[in-house]
Structures are given as structure tokens and as C-alpha cells.
């Protein structure tokens, strides 16, 4: 039988009633003739609560135990979903990551999927089970410990299962009815896209649009998974939602496809470091070893052999970055006069494959921000995106201004 993967996010399994609604959708696909692999998230808010408990218990926690705690939310919803389906006379069984076993790297809290053997679940399908309910977000490392895939990781579990089982499609059910030109919570002019190219979705996700985890888009692109994002509250309509697909499958598109933001950024500047060969390696080596995810980097003009080096990272990593830089200074690896952290910044980005062939997007972006009196602190660009770092208090305004400037409320 053809296989379908259906993933339900936290809001879609937030209560027993919602689990029942989700199960009805699954039941309908079973009636349509599919064997279904359901991937569930934890109930809405559960993972945040679990993370909070870990941080309160142990501020510099052991990541193995973090994973032991935060993976538990999905265990509950997987069992409840299987029970709900059984109550509807649909033959279903739940699977935790280790039971599949979904093998991952040992990078706790940010593990990557290595392998999904299909034998165990395949065998059950052959015996007449119609739905395998799999706990998202979790796996098992080589040493037998439970791992998790990073926040939002159930999306990646879903796409990886779709690839491993050669599923006909991977449907991601969430609390919005598709991928929008920007987060519909920030702009009421946001427009739902019927289709979006993998490359654009990948950039939007990595620049902060959390509707899909970045890694899930990467996997879908690599393994050619048909990926659809839709609402679990809407009508049961086969044409619903947004299809993430190849660029060639999109007929018309705007130069800019969407605007993304990332709220919790920080900008750090090392003042007066020696401008010499190897200085960047001496700074960013220790930062990387300390697990700091450096994003934007700017080296300022050098004067009398000294320069300022600015970089951005998630605000939650500032303490770690400071500690790494102070240690490098103590060890004599680098020398600087001061380290300044600005923890009130956000990143706003415009994304679109049309930028490859259109000029003037950057100029228009900077003009619209300037018209709102928003100061740009750092800029980075790539072939299909432009990002700026600005004061966090202007983030919503910037997103709305850019959405207007590029007329994203109108279809191409």
C-alpha cells in the first residue's frame, strides 16, 4: 500500500479533543487506502515547560539528561494518538525513537539523523497494522542514550521518515494554513503561498521562519520528498496548504518571496584587536569550540594595525561567547581592549530566488528601512537573501515596511 506521512505539531495535539480531530484525518487517509506514519510533537507548551524545568534544576545542564527530560513530551502524545486511533478501530501502534530505532549522532540537543531502518515498522504494516505513530524530535545515539533533534525537530523526523519509506507525500499539519509571505502573527497582510521553492523555504527557515525546521527542508530537497504545510483545523481538502517544491514547478513568483525575522539576536564587538593574518581564526576558533553559533561577521577598517571585529550570535549564547573570548585573551591567543555586547537586536531578512536576476532589491530594502527611521547595524547578503541587524524594538515595523515595499500582499 502507498505510504503517507502526517505530522501533527504541538497545537494540533494540545488536548485530547484535538488529538481526536487529528486522528479523524488519519482515519480518512487510511480509508483512502494509505498506510500512514503519523509523527507527533509534544502537546503545545509542553517542551517549553520541560526545558524550563531542566534549566531551573541545572543551569549548565548535562545535555544527555536534557534530552532524557525533553523527549518525554512526544512519548505521551504518541501513546495517546495510538490509543485514540484504536478507539476508532484503526489498527495503530506507537513507537518511540529508540524502538524504531531512529539512529542519530551523539550531538545531544542538536542531534542529526543517521539512519531509519524500515524493517520493524514495515513488518507491522505487512501484518495489518495501518498506522505507525512515531514520537517526533527524538532518536538514539550509538551509545544507547536518547537524543533530540533541536527545537522544531519533529518536522525533520517527519521528512526523514517520508524519505526512508518512500512516502507519497509528507503533510505537516500546523496552526497556520500554510507558508505565508511572512509570519501571519506579525503582519495581517501576510499572504498564503500555494507553492514555494525548496531554496526559498530553506532560507526563510534558517533565517527564523519556524513554520518548518531548517533541517527538514534540507532533507526534503535532497531526497525529493513532496512536502506540504497545512492546517489541522481547516477543511479536509487535498489542494489545501502550501506545497514546497522545485523551482521549475513554480510558474509565477515575486522577486522577493518572503520576509523572515529572528528576534533574539545579539551583536558583539571586540574593540581594538591586532589586525594580523590569523586573527579571524584566533577569534572564531574558540567561539566555535565553545558552541557559539556565529552568524554575521564584520571586520571594521583598521587603523595603525588595530581593528574592531563585530559578530552576531543568538542572545542566549552571549555569556558563553564572552567567557570564550576572555579565556582566549587570558591564554594570549588574542588581545583586545574591550568586548561590547548589544543584546537588544533582531535580524530581518528578505528572501527570493528572483534576486539572482534582479538588481535593486538591496537598495529598495535600505530605502524602506530608512523611511521608517530604522538604523541598520550590520548587513549580510547571499545570492537569494539580504539580512540586516536592527534594534529589536523596530523588528515588527521593519517586517511590515518590507512586506509593503515589495508588495508581497499581491500575487505575481
- Kindly tell me which of 204 and 273 has the beta carbon lying closer to ligand ASP: 204
Q: Which of 73, 139, 152, 208 binds Mg ion (CB under 5 A)?
A: 152
- Kindly tell me which of 10 and 27 has the beta carbon lying closer to ligand ASP: 10
For residue 41, the minimal CB distance to Mg ion (Å) is 7
Please tell me whether residue 215 adopts helix, strand or coil conformation: helix
- Kindly tell me which of 152 and 208 has the beta carbon lying closer to Mg ion: 152
User: Residue 23 is inside which H or E element, if any?
Assistant: helix 16-31
DSSP for 178-194, written as a single string: S-BSS-TTT-TT--B-S
For residue 42, the minimal CB distance to ligand ASP (Å) is 4
For residue 112, the minimal CB distance to ligand ADP (Å) is 19
User: Residue 109 is inside which H or E element, if any?
Assistant: none
Residues 28-67 that bind ligand ADP (CB under 6 A): 41
Tell me which residue has its CB nearest to Mg ion: 152
- Pairing type for strands 92-95 and 131-135 reads parallel
Q: Which of 12, 84, 154, 262 binds ligand ASP (CB under 6 A)?
A: 154
Q: Would you tell me how many other CB atoms lie within 10 Å of the CB of residue 128?
A: 8
- The length of the chain is 412
Extract the C-alpha cell encoding 202.
530553506
Residues 109-138 that bind ligand ASP (CB under 6 A): 136-137
Alpha helix stretches (DSSP H) within 71-213: 72-87, 119-126, 154-165, 198-206
- Kindly tell me which of 180 and 336 has the beta carbon lying closer to ligand ADP: 180
Q: Distance (Å, rounded) from C-alpha 26 to C-alpha 35?
A: 10
Q: Which of 9, 136, 153, 286 binds ligand ADP (CB under 6 A)?
A: 9
Q: Which of 24, 112, 151, 169 binds ligand ASP (CB under 6 A)?
A: 151
> Among 398, 12, 16, 2, which Cα is nearest to 229's?
12
Query: Does 241 contact ligand ASP by CB under 6 A?
Result: no
Could you say which of Mg ion, ligand ADP, ligand ASP, none residue 311 binds, taking C-beta under 5 to 8 angstroms by partner kind?
none
Residues 187-216 that bind ligand ADP (CB under 6 A): 204, 209-211
> Is 135:194 a contact under the CB 8 Å cutoff?
no
Provide the Cα torsion 160, 166, 167, 168; round to 10°. Answer: 130
Beta bridge partners of 340: 269
For residue 73, the minimal CB distance to ligand ASP (Å) is 6
> Is 193:149 a contact under the CB 8 Å cutoff?
no
Could you say which of ligand ADP, Mg ion, ligand ASP, none residue 227 binds, taking C-beta under 5 to 8 angstroms by partner kind?
none
What contacts 25, CB < 8 A, 6 or more positions away? 6, 173, 232, 236
Query: Does 208 contact ligand ASP by CB under 6 A?
Result: no
Please tell me whether residue 62 adopts helix, strand or coil conformation: coil
Q: Distance (Å, rounded) from C-alpha 316 to C-alpha 51?
A: 14
Query: Does 286 contact ligand ADP by CB under 6 A?
Result: no
Query: Does 147 contact ligand ASP by CB under 6 A?
Result: no
Chain residues binding ligand ADP by CB under 6 A are 9-11, 41, 152, 174-176, 179-180, 182-185, 204, 209-211, 258
Chain residues binding ligand ASP by CB under 6 A are 9-10, 41-42, 47, 73, 136-137, 151-155
Amino acid at each position: 500500500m502507498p505510504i503517507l506521512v502526517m505530522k501533527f505539531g504541538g497545537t494540533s495535539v494540545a488536548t485530547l479533543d484535538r488529538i481526536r480531530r487529528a486522528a479523524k484525518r488519519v482515519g480518512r487517509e487510511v480509508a483512502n487506502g494509505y498506510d500512514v506514519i503519523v509523527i507527533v510533537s509534544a502537546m503545545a507548551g509542553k517542551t517549553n515547560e520541560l526545558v524550563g524545568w531542566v534549566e531551573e534544576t541545572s543551569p549548565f545542564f548535562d545535555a544527555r539528561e536534557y534530552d532524557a527530560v525533553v523527549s518525554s513530551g512526544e512519548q505521551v502524545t504518541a501513546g495517546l494518538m495510538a490509543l485514540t486511533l484504536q478507539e476508532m478501530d484503526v489498527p495503530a501502534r506507537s513507537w518511540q525513537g529508540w524502538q524504531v530505532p531512529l539512529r542519530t549522532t551523539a550531538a545531544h540537543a542538536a542531534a542529526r539523523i543517521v539512519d531509519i531502518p524500515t524493517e520493524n515498522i514495515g513488518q507491522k504494516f505487512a501484518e495489518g497494522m495501518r498506522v505507525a505513530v512515531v514520537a517526533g524530535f527524538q532518536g538514539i545515539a550509538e551509545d544507547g542514550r536518547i537524543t533530540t533533534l533541536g527545537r522544531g525537530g519533529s518536522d525533520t523526523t517527519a521528512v526523514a521518515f517520508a524519505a526512508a519509506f518512500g512516502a507519497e507525500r509528507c503533510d505537516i499539519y500546523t496552526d497556520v494554513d500554510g507558508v505565508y509571505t511572512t509570519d501571519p502573527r506579525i503582519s495581517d497582510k501576510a499572504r498564503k503561498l500555494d507553492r514555494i521553492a525548496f531554496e526559498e523555504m530553506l532560507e526563510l527557515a534558517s533565517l527564523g521562519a519556524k513554520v518548518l525546521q531548517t533541517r527538514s527542508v534540507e532533507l526534503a530537497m535532497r531526497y525529493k520528498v513532496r512536502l506540504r504545510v497545512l492546517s489541522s483545523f481547516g477543511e479536509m481538502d487535498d489542494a489545501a496548504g502550501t506545497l514546497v517544491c522545485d523551482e521549475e514547478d513554480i510558474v509565477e513568483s515575486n522577486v522577493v518571496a518572503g520576509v523572515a525575522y529572528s528576534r533574539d539576536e545579539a551583536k558583539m564587538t571586540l574593540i581594538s584587536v591586532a589586525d594580523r593574518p590569523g586573527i579571524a581564526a584566533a577569534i572564531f576558533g574558540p567561539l566555535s569550540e565553545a558552541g557559539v553559533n556565529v552568524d554575521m561577521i564584520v571586520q571594521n577598517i583598521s587603523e595603525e594595525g588595530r581593528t574592531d571585529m563585530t559578530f552576531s550570535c543568538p542572545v542566549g549564547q552571549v555569556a558563553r561567547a564572552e567567557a570564550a573570548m576572555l579565556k582566549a585573551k587570558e591564554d594570549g591567543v588574542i588581545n583586545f581592549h574591550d568586548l561590547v555586547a548589544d543584546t537588544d537586536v533582531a535580524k530581518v531578512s528578505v528572501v527570493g530566488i528572483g534576486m539572482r536576476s534582479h538588481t535593486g532589491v538591496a537598495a529598495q530594502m535600505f530605502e524602506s528601512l530608512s523611511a521608517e527611521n530604522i538604523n541598520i547595524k550590520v548587513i549580510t547578503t547571499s545570492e537569494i537573501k539580504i539580512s540586516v541587524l536592527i534594534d529589536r524594538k523596530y523588528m515588527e515595523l521593519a517586517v511590515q515596511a518590507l512586506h509593503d515595499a515589495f508588495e508581497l500582499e499581491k500575487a505575481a
